[in-house]
Amino acid sequence: MEFKNKVAIVTGAGKGIGFEICTNLALEGATVFLNDLDEALAIEAAKKINEKTNGQCIAMGGDSSDVVFIQKMVDEAVSKFGKLDIVIANAGITLYGDFFKYSPESFFKVMQVNLGGTFFLAQAASNQMKKQANGGSLLFTSSVTGHQAHKELAAYGMSKAAIEMLARNLVIEVSPFKINVNTIAPGATLTERTLEDPKYTEVWNQLTPMGRPAYVSDIASAALFLVSDKAKHITGQTLIIDGGWTCISPAPF
């Protein structure tokens, strides 16, 4: 029970990587606030986790890029449990589009969710954690597309690279308060969304040096390590979890 008595918030966690992270945190003893924009999905996801973990997951449906809602999540955790130990800014949006025709609406939506949501959640969480004797841990979700260019993902890749720089910069700001901050950068991963493409697994089996895309458990294991007490002296770092893809980067198109 590595995370016993820990209180965590995870955004964008109704399914996929976020859901797996919440499940594993709860199984290891944490109380987890599971956020998703789709409130019904958040409630259903929390219910599934609580069936395995004796009620250690609390649904928080709402827009994780809205600063008022962000503060509400932090306040809810603190009012119920008196502290906030772990925050994982996992929510993100991918909007593909031709650079020459990419709309301002799509661009600013990607920046609002991916960058704004991460920045202001980190801010709200850090303001709480700096009051605590033991600080806390922040973790952001980036992507291999923040390291390697990908067709029709200029805005998305830009936002993910910026998230990694945010983590590096926050080392200056939050380290004096015993808060560490890191980023995970998943590569191709088998989730409900990616498996909508019937060729996804076959393509990424061929492109990934380790012979397969990541499972959500691969990403969650890395995430849990970086927010654990074992990693308290690791900060400002990005951990790429891609089976070696970025070392050779064959394009999927």
Catalytic residues: 156, 160
Residue 59 near residue 34 (C-beta atoms within 8 A): yes
How far is it, in rounded angstroms, from Cα 134 to Cα 3? 14
Longest dimension (CA), the chain: 51
